[in-house]
Amino acid sequence: MRRIVLAGVVLAAFALSAVHWLGLLVGGVAVGLLAGSWPRALAGGAGFGLVAWLGFLAVLANAGRLDGYLASGQLLYVSLAIPLVLGTVGALSYFLRTRVRTA
Amino acid sequence: MVCDSYPEDMDDVDTVRRGLIAAVIGGVAAGGVFSPAATYLDQFAPLSGDVWNATIDQPPSDVDSPHGRATLQYDGRRVPEVSADEEAALYYAVGYAHGTDRLFQMDLQRRLMRGQLSAVVGDAALDSDEFHVRMDFARAAAANWTALQSRNPTVADILEAYAEGVNAARDDQHLPPEFELLDFEPADWTPADTLILQLQIAWTLTGSFETLRRARIRDALGDDYDALFPRRYDHDSPILRGSASFAERRSADSDAAVPDAALTDWLSAFESPDGVGSNSWVVSGDHTDSGSPLVANDPHLSLLAPPVWYQQHLDATDYWVRGVTFPGVPFVVIGENHAGAWGFTNVGADVLDCYAYETDGGQYRYRGEWRDFDTEEHTIEVADGDDRTVTKRTTVHGPLVEREGQRVGVSWTGLTATATTDAVYAFARSDGLEDFRAAVRDFDLPTQHVVYADRDGNTYYKTTGRIPIRRVDGEAVPGWRVFDGSAGEAEWEGFTPYGESTWDGFVPFEEKPGAVNANYVATANQRVVDDPQHYLAESYSTPFRGERIYELLDGWAADRDLTPADMRALQTDALDTRARRLVPRVLDAVDVESAGTPFDALPDWDYRMTPESEAALAFAAFLDAYRERLYSEGFNAAGLGEDDWPTDWVTVHLEDDASWFERAETPESATAAVGAAVDAAAARIADEGWETYGDYNVVALEHPFDQSFLNYPEFETDGSPATVNNFRRDSDVGASWRMVVPMNGDATVVLPGGNDGDPFSESYDDQLRAWADGDYYTFDRTFDGRTVRFGGGE
């Protein structure tokens, strides 16, 4: 059940990410809250950011802009860092839970 | 371990922990929204960033047009083919293409000319804005638009349809990424904006304060001036050869006033970059393999990312036309149509005069009476800074430009209504030589050499543009001095600044140089004819390119018939005739074998400036050092700078006995300077780690924002400032478009960059490598890319 909820929430977060960057943070928060342990939470948050970025690459590729993006240097690094950082920070939400798994 | 039992005293710890975590997450969210980081996140966040939305957005498949049906289809290089039955529909779609592919460039150029750059980039552009406001190009464009509407309603309607198309593209799609980066939205495009862009090109080609610069240098150098700054270069390759020996024209009178460096240097910052010029030639069918004429053109303008030109192909009911235009201008400026082909180079004609006045407060003396300056307060908006108010002043001659108490009045042929737009429109529709010649009569601005050939086998060359005749005491005089504006000296008869001119006192069309069905004519900004009927120019470009083009054409034409491949070889010819003149002198003065690599390659060199050449590197570095050695200290001592140094024509011909070497601050002789220059060049080459000319001669073109993701990739390339394949690494000026058009086959072309202004598009720079390598592609008619259909409005 938790996986279904997780999948639904993550999809919603992707949709939100398409209109605002807060979607990346929200996605991380959702992953963190639903994770079984803090390492999983943080890995899941970063993973969410990475998947969002890969989805972004697909959008660029579809528009014929992937090569230009991959050659953009600084912009590439910034736009990769943003989802990774936001997803991971959002996943800190794991520690908002009443009881946390410490190992 | 899982904490199954939870002590009560841990509740407080948990609360603190949760509070901290909530603060971190909330802080990141709030910081991302309210801190400066918000800009970066809004622009660059994957999926939602404005910059990304701007680049992935493509024009829709169907667009409502108030002018009826048209089709726009791109080819693989983002070159649009636009077809329609009605011209209004055609040019609406052209506007849509320009608005889709180059909107930021268009907006930036009109801001430059209107003096509105500071409003978006801040006070770094204030000087530029002040100059453009004082010149009041915007008022000239408005006057031009007013005149055009009554003179040629057909063209006026087209400009309006074009502007509507630009604005529709802006409204239908995300704005280009640059607008997102600067966070502003462009205003409506208007017909006056199109006309002000035409003024920008004209200013780039003819807006010269050479009179002021020369006056200052002449004052500073005294007796040495004439030898270093000759009015005419001694050569045998004018554009039209075979005329009588040229006569030196000298103005007997001195300048009415010589403004000091503060004004002259300030004005010089807004003139053309060094090296703006061009090559073109037309070869009669009598000398071609096919029996049909050949037209070639490569205009040398600032090389930018994206390029100054935009390629397009238009299909109307009764004509087709293709080539390049300036984004913001609907018509093909250089190219070919169903009946012929044409190209342009700059004349360098003197179409700007400066006037000094006797002034008293807000008045100036004119023909014996005191007149008020026409004044207008203008506020320049400055982003993140204080706005600046400028008082614009004009006289009967035109704008008054001022700096630190120094003032001159300016007349420039672009500050009045011109019929150039009518001419360019008519070029597209022209049905052959006579049609084209009739259209050329309307080409008022800028002064250009036009070469043309039609598919019936005719060829044509003409000096175009309005050129004033100055008269003092009833006698025609050259325009190379500052005139006494208060005395009404040398005024341009029939010229009305910011209004409509009659051009009565200008060189009649028939009296400007021209040739019909000549064997071949080559233009490279050199002297037009040796002895013109009228004064045309204060000076011309150095003749290195012109003499080389004629050298090759003469040699080839004597042996065989010419082909398009010959024309391409000529456009990319990299033989430097400066080297041919100067290297023997270096070899006489210096033991280059002992100077080592790369100087030891000079004795066997073919004088070609090609990337793999060691000798070309040696020569280029030597020439830089030689100029430095010859002029640096001497000019500094005279209060002049590097921009004031003589041309390379003077440099390579400077003899040991020149009076210049009698100054304390100059070398003992040219020969002595050669030796010292080789040593300096060797040291520089070692410091830089250069091995061949390709390490030195790199084309590195920058976007106006100069950001790595917006700039073009760098490539080594052929050419030098003096070769036919013209490239100036120091000012990024070179062939902004190469075009070879046979009258019986497909044109071959290349652009230094790409047609799409979107920095993430494959077509942002997809032609640059070919350009750098001297390659071309066939400008055929295969259009199989994205299609936009325009409809409605019938």
CB contact under 8 A, A99 and B3: yes
What's residue B775's pLDDT?
98
Chain A residue with Cα closest to B33: A22
Joined together, the tokens standing for residue B206 give: 């003819």
Q: What is the pLDDT of residue A9?
A: 85
* SS3 of residue A19 by DSSP: coil
Q: Give the whole-angstrom CA distance, residue B6 versus residue A99.
A: 8
Is the CB of residue B289 less than 8 Å from the CB of residue B563? yes
**Chain A touched by B766 (CB under 8 Å):** no
User: To the nearest whole angstrom, how far is the Cα of B732 from the nearest Cα of chain A?
Assistant: 22
Give the nearest partner residue to B764 out of A60, A68, A95, using CB atoms: A68
CB contact under 8 Å between B46 and A53, yes or no, is yes
Cis peptide before B742 (omega within 30 of 0): no
- Best interface-test mutation with B: which of A19, A57, A79, A93 has the largest number of B CBs within 10 A? A79
CB within 8 Å: A78 and B44:
yes
pLDDT of residue B8: 61
Asked if B709 is an interface residue toward chain A (Cβ–Cβ < 8 A), one would say yes
What is the per-residue pLDDT for B246? 43
Question: How far apart are the CA of A9 and the nearest CA of chain B, in angstroms?
Answer: 17
CA distance B306 to chain A (A): 14
Is B21's Cβ below 8 Å from some Cβ in A? yes
Contact across the interface for B25 and A102, Cβ inside 8 Å: no
On chain A, the residues whose CB falls within 8 A of the CB of B708 are: 72-74
10-residue block means of pLDDT along chain B (794 residues)? 54 82 91 87 93 92 96 96 97 98 98 97 96 98 98 98 98 94 94 97 94 92 92 93 55 72 88 85 98 98 96 97 98 98 96 96 95 97 95 97 91 98 98 98 97 98 98 93 96 97 97 96 96 92 97 97 98 98 96 94 98 98 98 96 95 94 93 96 98 98 92 97 96 96 97 97 96 95 89 73
Quick one: pLDDT at residue A7?
A: 85
* Among B25, B42, B48, beta carbon nearest to A18: B48
| pLDDT recorded at residue B1 | 41
Is the CB of residue B493 less than 8 Å from the CB of residue B504?
yes
Going from the C-alpha of B431 to that of each of B281, B341, B436, the distances in angstroms are 21, 11, 7
Measured distance CA(B362)–CA(B256) in Å, rounded: 20
Name which of B5, B24, B33, B47 to mutate to probe chain A: the one with the most chain A Cβ atoms within 10 A of its Cβ. B47
How many helices (H) and strands (E) would you count in chain B? 25, 32
Question: How far apart are alpha carbons B410 and B482 in whole angstroms?
Answer: 10
> Of A75, A76, A96, which to mutate for an interface test with B (greatest number of B Cβ within 10 Å)?
A75
Residue B747 near residue B738, CB atoms below 8 Å? no
* H or E segment to which residue B64 belongs: strand B62-64
Set of chain B residues whose Cβ sits within 8 Å of the Cβ of A23: 47-48
Contacts A78 to B, Cβ<8 Å = 40, 44
Contact B14 A103 (CB under 8 A): no
Report chain B residues whose CB lies below 8 A from the CB of A64. 761-762
DSSP codes joined into one string, B540-555: ---SHHHHHHHHHHHH
Considering only the beta carbons, identify the residue of A17, A80, A103 that sits closest to B48. Answer: A17
What does the pLDDT read at residue A103? 46
Contacts of A24 in chain B (CB under 8 A): 45-46
Q: How far apart are CA B558 and CA B676, in angstroms?
A: 43
Contacts of A18 in chain B (CB under 8 A): 47-48
Q: Compare CB distances from A82 to B44, B758, B760 and report the shortest one's residue.
A: B44
With 0-12 / 13-18 / 19 or more C-beta atoms within 10 angstroms meaning exposed / middle / buried, residue B8 is exposed
Of B709, B761, B764, the CB nearest to A74: B709
B17: chain A residues, CB-CB within 8 Å: 95
Q: Which of B6, B41, B56 sits opposite A21 (nearest CB)?
A: B41
**Counts for chain A of helices (H) and strands (E), in that order:** 5, 0
B221: Cβ contacts below 8 Å, ≥ 6 apart: B228, B638, B640
The size of the A-B interface in CB pairs under 8 A is: 118
Phi, psi of B537 (to 5 degrees): -145, 150
Nearest-CA distance B762 → chain A (Å): 7
Contact: B47, A52; criterion CB under 8 Å: yes
Q: What is the pLDDT of residue A100?
A: 58
Partner-chain residue, chosen from B2, B28, B47, that has the shortest CB–CB distance to A17? B47
The pTM of this model reads: 0.94
**Which chain B residues are closer than 8 Å to A96 by Cβ?**
18, 21-22
Nearest to B55 among A24, A65, A93 (CB): A65
Query: Strand B787-791 relative to strand B62-64: parallel, antiparallel, unpaired?
Result: parallel
Kindly report the average pLDDT of chain B as a whole number: 94
**Packing angle of the helix pair B420-429, B153-172 (nearest 10 deg):** 90
Closest CA to B464 of B494, B442, B492: B442
Q: What pLDDT score does B15 carry?
A: 84
DSSP string, B439-454: HHTT--SS-EEEEEEE
The 3-state secondary structure of B231-290 reads CCCCCCCCCCCCCCCCCCCCCCCCCCCCCCHHHHHHHHCCCCCCCCEEEEEEECHHHECC
Q: What is the pLDDT of residue B39?
A: 87
Average pLDDT for A45-73: 94
CA distance B650 to A76: 50
The answer to whether the beta carbons of residues B539 and B210 sit under 8 Å apart is yes
- Taking the C-alpha atoms of residue B461 and residue B457, their distance in angstroms, rounded to an integer, is 14
Measured in residues, chain A has a length of: 103
Contact of B558 with chain A, judged by CB distance below 8 Å, is answered with no
B320, B337 in Cβ contact below 8 A? yes
Indicate the SS3 state at residue B503: coil
Contact check, Cβ <8 Å, A93/B56 = no
Asked if the C-beta of B42 comes within 8 angstroms of chain A's C-beta atoms, the answer is yes
Say if the Cβ atoms of B18 and A95 lie within 8 Å.
yes
User: Cβ separation of A79 and B32 shorter than 8 Å?
Assistant: no
3 state SS of B38: helix
> Is residue A68 within a helix (H) or strand (E), and if so which, with residue range?
helix A66-70
B14: chain A residues, CB-CB within 8 Å = 98
Diameter of chain B measured on Cα atoms: 112
B705 CB within 8 Å of a chain A CB: no
Q: Does B25 touch chain A (CB under 8 A)?
A: yes
Give bridge partners of residue B739 from the DSSP assignment.
Answer: B297, B749
Q: Record the tokens describing residue B502, joined without a space.
A: 């009659």
- Do the bridges between strand B320-325 and strand B310-315 make them parallel or antiparallel, or are there none, so unpaired? antiparallel
Of B127, B399, B381, B99, nearest in space to B269 by CA: B127
Burial of B242 (0-12, 13-18, 19+ CB in 10 A): exposed
| Nearest CA distance, B299 vs chain A (angstrom) | 28
